A and B are shown apart, each in its own frame.
Chain A
Amino acid sequence: MKMLSFANRNAKEILRDPLTLLFGLGFPLILLLLLSAIQASIPVPLFEIEKLTPGIVVFGLSFMTLFSGSLIAKDRSSSLLQRLYTTPLTPLDFILGYTLPILPFAVVQGAVCYVVAMLLGLKLTPNLLLAIVFIIPISLLYVALGLLFGSILNDKQVGGICGALLTNLSAWLSGTWFDLELVGGVFKNIAYALPFVHAVEVERAVLSGELSAALPHLLWVLGYSLVSLAAAVLLFLRQMKRQ
């Protein structure tokens, strides 16, 4: 109950920020429409709707880091957290309160991308519904990164690092915009050592009904999610104690 009150407040703060709708939903949809238009003129296998949409969905999730990180950093700078630390809320309440409101938003965002993709030719199958479910573990990774960055950076730094750097890194290293095989070498190795391309591969494999192919990529994503979450919790608790 106490945690839910806090989570409810966080959900309202995020949803009432117009930038949330603009970047969280609008930007990925614009990219989906734009790249589909390019695909219609100059067909490229990478931009086929079945391959493109999972990449756009994961790209959209990278904004969850920006939303959660900004909210925490703003709360820290405004003394609101200081006030809440003196209430009966426990450290677990804070972690869950910042994490839970993002998950439904991430699922809705991904679902809207898939619905728009259906208008562009993606077929409605049970696999598509499963792909929406698999957004949850992937979004956990991005929320954990937001919790982590929000605990150590101020809101301007979060804007720069999560809003510019992470979204771009997540996009370039995801195999959505260009085929990583074409670049190859160190770039490809770095990309496959990070979770972003694996997140896209999970969605692509689930969407095409190849669950066994999704599993190794899912393990990469879950591994990074757990490590990020553990680091985020430690850093959040550290800044809590520093109050």
Chain B
Amino acid sequence: MLAIQTNNLTKRYGDIAAVDGLSLSVEEGELFALLGVNGAGKTTTIKMLSCLTAPSDGDAFLHGQSICKNPERIKPIIAVSPQETAIAPGLSVYENLELICGVYGFSHEKKNMKIKELTDLLGLDAIMKRKAGKLSGGWQRRLSIAMALISEPKILFLDEPTLGLDVIARSELWDIIRSLKGKITVILTTHYMEEAEALSDRIGIMRDGKLLVCDTAEGVKRTAGSDSFEEAFIRIVKGVKA
């Protein structure tokens, strides 16, 4: 079953097309990475798919619901972990998770169950009482992802989840993201080639708002005629023929 299908999805700001006629489909449970240089249209795509911004043209369907016509039906089944860490800094880790349970209308029992589950999954137990604003960047990212996961989304958008993290924190987050594969659909944007290659089932490469390639990591390398994924990415973005 398709989790996401976009048809000619377009977003214009004045004369500039940030996303230009994007048509792609993502299967349920797939981990799909969107790659591209700055301004390629990755974040704008995520903003449209998560109903944060309306498309100028085209439409997208998430589990069969239109982002243009039924955003209120989409919001309960998605979660977003934005590029910048989106946490309430004055609240403790526990209170941040409690906040998200509250805005999704969870019962007291369900809230306790989900907080326990996410605490175990992401290893947050030791920092539950600490103020979120005082945590290191790596722990804040973990909390941010926990806040996205706690609502039991069918589709999770991770916008550059490991940006600015050290090697260890990144590796730990990779393990967490890997553990989600097959359970929920994950749309990941990243600047790190090795991240996309290691984690993704398929990869879409964007430039100037257009989707240039959409394939597995191996398929992308074959298309570009390179053994290195990074080299393949550069060739595709620069338009070098294989």
Contact = CB atoms under 8 A, between A and B. Distances in A.
A8 B80 CA distance: 22
Contact of B99 (A9, A17, A85, A243): A9
B237 interface: no
Contacts of B147: 83
A9 B104 CA distance: 14
Given A88-B76, A88-B103, A78 B95 contact: no
A6 B102 CA distance: 8
A42 interface: no
A115 B84 CA distance: 45
Contact of B103 (A78, A79, A82, A89): A89
A4 interface: yes
Interface string A228-243: 0000000000000111
Interface in A75-99: 78-80, 82-89
B103 A86 contact: no
Most chain A Cβ neighbours within 10 Å, of B88, B101, B151:
B88
Nearest to B46: A86
B219 interface: no
B85 interface: yes
B78 to A, nearest CB: 6
Q: A-side binding surface: helix, strand, loop or mixed?
A: helix
Interface string A1-38: 11011101100110011000000000000000000000
A5 B103 contact: yes
B99 A82 contact: no
B103 A2 contact: yes
A79 B84 contact: yes
Size category, A interface? 20 to 34
Contacts of B51: 86
A86 B79 contact: yes
Given A1-B105, A12-B95, A88-B104, A82 B87 contact: no
Contacts of A79: 82-86
B90 A16 contact: yes
A1 B107 CA distance: 10
Contact of A13 (B78, B82, B90): B90
A80 B144 CA distance: 10
B142 to A, nearest CB: 15
Contacts of B83: 79
Contacts of A9: 88, 91, 95, 99
A242 B54 CA distance: 9
B180 interface: no
B80 A86 contact: yes
Contacts of B75: 86-88
Nearest to B50: A86
Given A5-B99, A86-B51, A243-B52, A78 B86 contact: yes
B238 to A, nearest CB: 32
Interface string B65-96: 00000001001101111111111111100010
A84 B147 CA distance: 11
A89 B51 CA distance: 13
Given A80-B88, A243-B47, A6 B80 contact: no
B102 A5 contact: yes
B232 to A, nearest CB: 32
B99 A78 contact: no
Contact of B86 (A83, A89, A243): A83
B17 interface: no
15 contacts: A2-B102, A2-B103, A5-B103, A6-B99, A9-B95, A17-B90, A78-B87, A82-B52, A83-B86, A86-B52, A86-B75, A87-B100, A87-B104, A88-B72, A88-B76
Interface of A: 1-2, 4-6, 8-9, 12-13, 16-17, 78-80, 82-89, 241-243
Given A78-B86, A241-B54, 5 more contacts: A13-B91, A78-B87, A86-B50, A86-B80, A87-B151
In order of increasing CB-CB distance, the 3 nearest A-B pairs are A5-B102, A83-B86, A79-B86
